[in-house]
Amino acid sequence: MDKKKTLASSTDAVHAGTPRARPHHALTPAIAQTATYTFENTAELERYMAGADPDSEREEYGRYGNPTVRELEQRLAALEQAEDALAFGSGMAAVTATFLALLKAGDHVILFRDCYRRTRQLVSQILVRFGIEHTLIDPGDLAALEREIRPSTRLVVSEAPTNPYLYCVDLERLVQVVRARGRIRVLVDSTFATPINCRPLGFGVDLVVHSATKYLSGHNDVLGGAVAGSSQLISLLRDVRHVTGAVLDPHAAFLIGRGIKTLGLRIDRQNATALAVARALEAHPAVGKVYYPGLDSHPSHSIAAAQMRGFGGVVSFIVKRGREAASRVVDQCKIARIAPSLGGVETLIEQPAIMSYSELSTEELAKVGIDPALIRLSVGVEETADVLASLMAALDAT
């Protein structure tokens, strides 16, 4: 089956997982801005606590659930074609809850090296303190994955595409390698792809995580995270969320849900603009290397072309003349704003060595694979020609 034919569409982004009728005939969801919920009498409370009314959608306390948040979760599950989904206060809250739900002391995690630095820090600096071991391997290196799996391995984590070099792992083969070695879960961070460009669960992945702050909400105005997967696994995460309190605010859930309605439109524009930018960068004499899976020159191009509808809105590139020259390019861009996030309607630009990895020395940057002259550009929905003209002018001026 061609997995790309089952991707989410703009129609899905607007309608999938939404109820046909809402209270008061409202078109959009209500914001249940409440911290707690009331019971009519003790008998109703006892029925609820005993689970005697399993079809009831009512809640008890805001840390355990909220109808606005629940509607967003149902929409996300529909977009990822998952049995269920769970929303969190941030993407890292979602990742953390997943690790806490699936791992215990003595377990082993395998993580691909090119990934969001906070995910790597969570594994290497925090989980290790609780007796959870880890191994870092090169992006997409499935031979290394096969070698590094231990009897204690319980989780394999990958991004698709990765941050910041946009590597894509062969998801189907990844799952085959892991399944051949026993009961090991596969978690894929699909923030950069979104369900418009790729649905990892369709390749056999167990859980897919998103920083909803990025493309799902799409307007750089709200924090959120989500995990989608089987009902059984999501129930384990829900238990952790109940205890840790990493809940999503109902107003944030409303904003993310509103943003999702234009997800397909935004991703189409960002796919097209990023590809045009990547091609122009590759031809510019001031650029040494471009990382974008839509280019034939990218190591993951054939994999991305096989399993993605589009290649995403992030382009990373290295300026030939070093760190200072890269800084001048960043400063000269008139449309792109200097900021650490991505996926919104505004084009954003950053130099990871200065922003995301500012605490690291040159030697430490080399160890984690970050070139000092690397620039990460997240294209917005501005006119493609305007984004291109701004960036080319900045490069010409260096």
The pLDDT, as a whole number, for residue 32 is: 94
CA separation, residue 267 to residues 197, 214, 264, 311 (Å) = 8, 12, 5, 10
Find the helix or strand (DSSP H, E) in which 366 lies. Answer: helix 362-368
Residues 289 and 244 in one domain: no
Residues 62 and 179 in one domain: yes
**Burial category of 328 from C-beta neighbours within 10 Å (exposed 0-12, middle 13-18, buried 19 and up):** middle
Q: Do 50 and 100 have their domain in common?
A: yes
Residue 54's pLDDT band, with cuts at 50, 70 and 90, is low
Note whether 66 and 120 are same-domain residues. yes
Integer Cα distance of 277 and 135 in angstroms: 35
pLDDT averaged over every residue in the chain = 94
- Cα 279 from Cα 264, distance rounded (Å): 23
Q: Is 105 found in the same domain as 254? A: yes
Which of 134, 184, 192, 188 is closest to 165 using CA atoms? 192
Asked whether residue 327 falls in the same domain as residue 253, the answer is no
Higher pLDDT, 348 or 25: 348
Same domain, 235 and 277: no
CATH number at residue 309: 3.90.1150.10
Tell me: do 184 and 293 sit in the same domain: no
CATH of the domain at 96: 3.40.640.10
Beta strands in the chain (DSSP E): 84-88, 108-112, 133-137, 153-159, 185-189, 207-211, 225-229, 287-291, 314-319, 337-338, 348-350, 374-378
Q: State residue 288 phi and psi, 5-degree precision.
A: -90, -35
pLDDT tens digits, 166-203: 999 999 999 999 999 989 999 999 999 999 999 999 99
From 227, 260, 293, the end of a domain falls on 260
Residue partners of 51: CB distance under 8 A and separation at least 6: none
| CA proximity to 82, closest of 228, 287, 191, 271 | 228
For the stretch 57-86, pLDDT in tens is 788 999 999 999 999 999 999 999 999 999
The Cα–Cα gap between 108 and 333 comes to: 44
Is pLDDT at 374 greater than 90 in this prediction? yes
> What pLDDT does residue 267 have?
98
Contact 188, 200 (CB under 8 A): yes
Shared domain check, 334 and 232: no
Would you state the pLDDT for residue 4? 58
Least confident of 3-7, 91-95, 258-262: 3-7
Q: Measure the CA angle with vertex 164, ends 162 and 168; round to 5°.
A: 25
Q: Which of 260, 284, 302 is the last residue in one of the domains?
A: 260
Residue 53 pLDDT greater than 80, yes or no: no
Which of these, 36, 100, 30, 101, lies nearest to 72 by C-alpha position? 30
Lowest mean pLDDT among 11-25, 191-205, 323-337: 11-25
Largest CA distance in the chain: 75
DSSP letters for 136-185 = EE-TT-HHHHHHH--TTEEEEEEESS-TTT-----HHHHHHHHHTTSS-E
Question: Of 39-53, 134-148, 224-238, 278-292, which gets the smallest average pLDDT?
Answer: 39-53
For residues 322-351, give the mean pLDDT.
96
Whether cis (ω within 30° of 0) applies to the bond prior to 161 is yes
The model's confidence at residue 149, banded by pLDDT at 50, 70 and 90, is very high
- The confidence score (pLDDT) of residue 369 equals 83
Digit-coded pLDDT (tens) for 376-393: 999 999 999 999 999 999
Give the mean model confidence (pLDDT) for residues 272-300.
97
Residue 68 β-bridge partners: none
Question: In the structure, how many helices (H) and strands (E) does the chain have?
Answer: 15, 12
Question: 115: closest CA among 98, 135, 129, 97?
Answer: 135
**Do 246 and 288 lie in a common domain?**
no
What are 290-314's pLDDT values in tens digits?
999 999 999 999 999 999 999 999 9
Domain count, the chain: 2
Domain's final residue, options 213, 239, 260 = 260
Those residues with Cβ within 8 angstroms of residue 38's Cβ, 6 or more apart along the chain or in another chain = none
pLDDT at 362: 84
The structure tokens listed for 251 are 């107003």
Q: What is the mean pLDDT of residues 258-263?
A: 98
Whether residues 81 and 161 share a domain: the answer is yes
Structure-token match 């699909």, residue found: 190
Region for residue 283 given its phi and psi (left: phi exceeds 0; alpha: psi -120 to 50; beta: otherwise): alpha
Mean pLDDT, range 10-32, rounded to an integer = 91
Cα distance from N-terminal residue to C-terminal residue, the chain: 48
Question: Residue 209: what pLDDT?
Answer: 98
Name the residue range of residue 348's domain.
264-396
Residue 205's pLDDT is what? 97
* pLDDT for the residue numbered 5: 54
Average pLDDT in the 221-250 region?
Answer: 97
Average pLDDT value for residue range 280-288: 97
pLDDT in tens, 105-142: 999 999 998 888 899 999 999 999 999 999 999 988 99
- Give yes or no for a contact between 237 and 97, defined as CB atoms under 8 angstroms apart: yes
Q: Are residues 270 and 244 in the same domain?
A: no
Closest CA to 98 of 60, 174, 77, 90: 90
User: Checking DSSP bridges between strand 153-159 and strand 185-189, what pairing results, if any?
Assistant: parallel
